[in-house]
Copies of this chain bind each other. A is one copy, B any other.
């Protein structure tokens, strides 16, 4: 799976664990809802500054964001 898709799935799963809507996450991260949607769909090559904004809005550290099996191998290419 591409890294862009993995990031999107990770954001969506954390958002749903927190019971937040895309609109809620948009508000708390100060990013457009349509941008959040396209990131979750794996369509954006998101920057580290925006990953950090989203992680903060989801109340996880970057360490915890990436502490997940999806990010634990280098076999899938971007």
Contacts and interface: CB of A to CB of B under 8 A. Distances in A.
Interface of A: 3-4, 7, 45-49, 51-53, 55-56, 59, 61-63, 65-68, 71-74, 78
Contacts of A7: 48
A62 B56 contact: no
A74 B56 contact: yes
A4 B48 CA distance: 7
A73 B63 CA distance: 8
Given A48-B4, A49-B45, A52-B3, A67 B73 contact: no
A66 B60 CA distance: 13
Contact of A3 (B4, B48, B63, B66): B48
